[in-house]
Amino acid sequence: MAVFTAPMSRTGCATETPGQDRQTAVLVAAIDAMEATLAVAEALATERRRIDLAGLESEIGRICAACLAVPRAAAPGIRLRLESLLRALDRLRTGLAPP
């Protein structure tokens, strides 16, 4: 008896179609890039260097919009990634000196 195993995405969740898997991979890449951006910003804030956060809000908005279209099977993994992103944003906010 053959057993069908659904392909696993980068988030560790089974996906429904190759197109949806690619969509999820693009979203994960965007989250990865934002995490890297926030890590750099956090390091600069720690050094009390000036940070230009222009565009950050719009990029976060694009990530959130893409999350609305994520395949159901990938949603739990994406949610974990978003929670991690939120923690990084909170750390950055805490590290920023008042204007």
8 Å CB contact between 20 and 71: yes
8 Å CB contact between 81 and 11: yes
Q: At what angle do helices 18-46 and 75-95 cross, to 10 degrees?
A: 10
Mean per-residue pLDDT of the chain: 82
Query: What is the chain's alpha carbon radius of gyration, rounded to the nearest angstrom?
Result: 17
Q: Which pLDDT score, from 0 to 100, does residue 18 have?
A: 74
In this prediction, residue 57 has a pLDDT band, given cuts at 50, 70 and 90, of: confident
Q: Which pLDDT score, from 0 to 100, does residue 20 have?
A: 79
Global pTM value: 0.75
Q: Is pLDDT of 71 > 80?
A: yes
Give the residues across from 14 on adjacent strands: 8
Q: Which pLDDT score, from 0 to 100, does residue 97 have?
A: 64
More confident residue, 20 or 3: 20
Which 3 state secondary structure label does DSSP give 35?
helix
Q: Which pLDDT score, from 0 to 100, does residue 26 have?
A: 93
